[in-house]
Structure 1
Amino acid sequence: MHQFIVRAATEGANPLMPNWWEILVVAVGFAILLWIVVQFVVPAFEKTFAERAEAIEGGIAKAEKAQAEASAALEEYKQQLTDARAEANRIREEARAEGAQILAELKEKAAAEAARITEQAHVQIEAERQQAVASLRAEVGTLATTLAGRIVGESLDDDARSARVVDRFLAELETQNAGAVK
């Protein structure tokens, strides 16, 4: 290297200044390289940048669309849930009303059945009382006729006469009972 500096100094050339032909060759090479970069590399970078920007914007648009769809689905779900709750409340109220109506009908049927049974019992009791009264009249009539026949000393076997005696006796008994009850 020392020789180079010595030779350059002897020739009178400035070691810091390059030759003109070297500057020209480097400038032409730089221009060619710059033209290749501008013609081929920069468009490829711009195309890649545009594709990526488009993909990102498309992804953002898709995400926003998906978000809007999710929000709409959530609102629809909430509305369906609200509707389902309202329907459940309505069904529950209808069931309560229907239950109350069934209970009222059952109570009404039970009361009607109880009234029917009571009426039937009263009819049966009245029939049995009438039967007992008739049986007692016959028995009392027979006893009264026999007793009256012994007291009077003659036989009261005549049916018409015995029926009159029995009726008179029972009428007197009923009068006495009615006076005692008051």
Structure 2
Amino acid sequence: MILTQVTAAETEINPLVPHVPEIILGVIVIALLFVGVAKFIVPNFEKAYADRTAAIEGGIENANAKQAEADAKLAQLEAQLADARHEAARIREEAREQGAAIKAELRAEAQAEAERIVNAGKAQVEAERQAAAASLKTEVGSLATGLAGRIVGESLDDDERSSRVVERFLADLEAGVH
């Protein structure tokens, strides 16, 4: 009985002790899985990571390039704006100078026109005064001749004599006034 107990104990499987064929089979399966994962899955993951990294870095580089381009455009536009402001200031200054020159020119023209009008008015007044004086001389002469003829009692219709008398009379009047 003892022998049967020993053989039975030997044939009985101890769950705590693994069998060598199972260990070898497990190692082979794990090795095959490791090789399969290392050969097929890991390269795909690495490729996906590399593509993703390249896309992110490319996006960052692209964004940096776009930012640098935008900064350059901004600097260019600011320079153009500054040039435009300087040009506008120069044009305003030229317009002020031209306005002042036109104003001075118009003032000089107006003053010359005013002087011309005043001189023309003075000449017209002088001509009218001379015409009025001549008309008055003629009228005063005819009145004086008529009056003298009544006083003297003779007719002084002789034009030559009457004009000498009138001129002498007017000369005497002018000498007495001055």
TM range (shorter): 0.7 to 0.9
Partner of 1:125: 125
The residue type equivalent to 1:85 in the other structure is R
Are 1:78 and 2:78 an aligned pair? yes
Calculate the TM-score normalised by the size of structure 2. 0.86
Compute the displacement of 1:156 (Å).
2.2
Counterpart CA distance in 1 for 2:124 and 2:148 is 35
* Paired residues for 1:49-64 under 5 Å: 49-64=49-64
Runs of 4+ in structure 1 deviating by more than 4 angstroms, as ranges, are 12-15
Within the alignment, does 1:10 sit opposite 2:22 as a pair? no
Deviations 1:26-58 (A, max 9, x none): 111111111111211111111111111111110
Amino acid in structure 2 at the alignment position of 1:42: V
Aligned partner of 2:67 in structure 1 is 67
CA distance in 2, matches of 1:143, 1:28: 164
Distance in structure 2 (CA, Å) of the matches to 1:162 and 1:44? 145
Deviation at 1:103, TM superposition (A): 2.2
For structure 2, list consecutive stretches of 5 or more residues without a partner in the other structure.
1-5
Q: Could you tell me the percent identity over the aligned residues?
A: 57
* Counterpart AA for 2:106: L
- How high is the TM-score relative to the length of structure 1? 0.84
Letter in 2 for 1:163: S
Question: SS at 2:157's partner residue?
Answer: coil
Q: Does 1:19 align with 2:24?
A: no
Alignment partner of 1:136 is 2:136: yes
**What number of residue pairs does the alignment pair up?**
172
SS at match of 2:118: helix
- Please report how far the alpha carbon of residue 67 of structure 1 lies from its aligned counterpart in structure 2 after TM superposition: 0.6
5+ long unaligned stretches in structure 1:
1-6
Q: CA deviation at 1:14?
A: 5.7
Rounded to whole Å, the distance in 1 between the matches of 2:146 and 2:26 is 172
Q: Describe the SS at the equivalent of 1:16.
A: coil
Instruction: Give 3-state SS (helix, strand or coil) of 1:50's partner.
Output: helix
1:155 aligned counterpart, secondary structure: coil
In the TM superposition, what is the alpha-carbon distance from 1:147 to its structure 2 partner?
A: 2.2
| 1:23 to partner: Cα distance | 1.1
The 3-state SS of whatever aligns with 2:16 is coil
Segment of structure 1 superposing worse, 81-90 or 135-144: 81-90
